[in-house]
Structure 1
Amino acid sequence: MSQKASPPGDTPRYPIREVSRLTGVNSVTLRAWERRYGLLRPHRTPKGHRLYAREDIERVERILQWLHRGVPVSQVRELLDQPDTSARPSADLDDWANQRQQLTAAIEAMDTARLDSLFNQVLALYPARVCIEKLWQPVVQELEENWGDRLGLTLQRRVLETFLRTRIGTRLYHANPQAGPRQVLVTPMPEADSPLWGLMTALLLSEQGHRVQLLDAPMSPQELNLAAERLGIDLILLASGKAEKTDLIKRQLPRLADQLEAPLALCGPVARIRAGDIGDSRIIALGDQLAEATARAGALLAELPQGRA
Structure 2
Amino acid sequence: MSGGPAQRWRIGVLATRVGVSETLLRAWEVRYGLLSPQRTQAGYRLYGPEDERRAIAMQRARERGVPAGQAAAEILANERTWAEAQEEPVEGTASSSGSLDVVGALSELEAAMLAYDVGAMHEVLDRLLRTVSVESAIRDVLLPFMAHVGQGWEAGDFDVADEHFASDLVRGRLAALAVGPGTRTGPTVLLACPPEESHDIALKAFEVVLQRAGWRTRFLGPHSPLASIRAAVDVIDPDVVVLAGATPQVFALDDTELAVVRRLAQQCALGLAGAGASAELAESWGALHLAGDPVTAATGLVERARTLLTPTD
Q: TM-score, normalised by structure 2?
A: 0.69
Asked if 2 retains the 8 angstrom alpha-carbon contact of 1:257 and 1:283, the reply is no
Between Structure 1 and Structure 2, how many residues are aligned? 272
The partner residue of 2:244 within 239, 247, 251 is 239
- 2 CA distance for matches of 1:234 and 1:180? 12
Stretch moving more, 220-229 or 97-106: 97-106
Aligned in 2, Cα 1:78/1:151: closer, same or farther, shift over 3 Å? closer
Post-superposition Cα deviations, 1:189-222, rounded to whole Å, max 9, x if no partner, equal 3221222211211121112211121222321111
Asked if 1:223 is matched to 2:228, the reply is: yes
The answer to whether the 8 A contact 1:190-1:220 is kept is yes
**Shift in CA distance, 153/296, structure 1 to aligned 2, threshold 3 Å:** same
Asked whether 1:255 is paired with 2:259, we answer yes
* Aligned with 2:122 (options 105, 108, 116): 116
Which runs of no fewer than 5 residues in structure 2 stay unpaired?
8-15, 41-45, 59-71, 95-99
1:267 aligns with 2:273: yes
- Alignment partner, residue 37 of structure 2: 30
User: Percent identical across equivalent pairs?
Assistant: 15
Aligned residue for 1:306, secondary structure, equals coil
Q: Secondary structure at the match of 1:230?
A: helix
Question: 2:182 corresponds to which residue?
Answer: 177
Structure 1 segments unaligned to the other structure (5+ residues): 7-11, 34-38, 44-50, 67-76
Deviation track 1:155-211 (CA, whole Å, cap 9, x = no partner) reads: 23322332233333333334x222124111222232212222112111211122111
CA contact (8 A) 2:193 2:223 kept: yes
- Contact between 2:250 and 2:276, CA under 8 Å: does it hold in 1? no
* Alpha-carbon spacing, 1:267–1:88, altered in 2? closer, same or farther (3 Å): farther
Letter in 2 for 1:105: A
Cα distance per residue 1:14-41 (max 9 Å; x no partner): 2794644432399x962449xxxxx985
What's the offset of the Cα at 1:266? 1.8
SS at structure 2 position matched to 1:209: coil
Of the three residues 260, 281, 287, the one matched with 1:283 is 287
TM-score of the superposed pair, with normalisation by structure 1: 0.70
Partner of 1:101: 107
Partners of 1:164 and 1:184 in 2: CA distance: 22
One-letter amino acid of the counterpart of residue 299, structure 2: A
- Structure 1 residue matching 2:249: 3-state secondary structure: coil
Q: Provide the aligned C-alpha RMSD in A.
A: 4.3
3-state DSSP class of the match of 1:173? coil
Match of 2:172 in 1: 166
- For structure 1, which segment, 215-224 or 109-118, has the greater mean C-alpha deviation from structure 2 after superposition? 109-118
Q: Secondary structure at the match of 1:238?
A: strand
- 1:9 corresponds in structure 2 to none
In structure 1, C-alpha distance between the alignment counterparts of 2:225 and 2:288, rounded to whole Å: 19
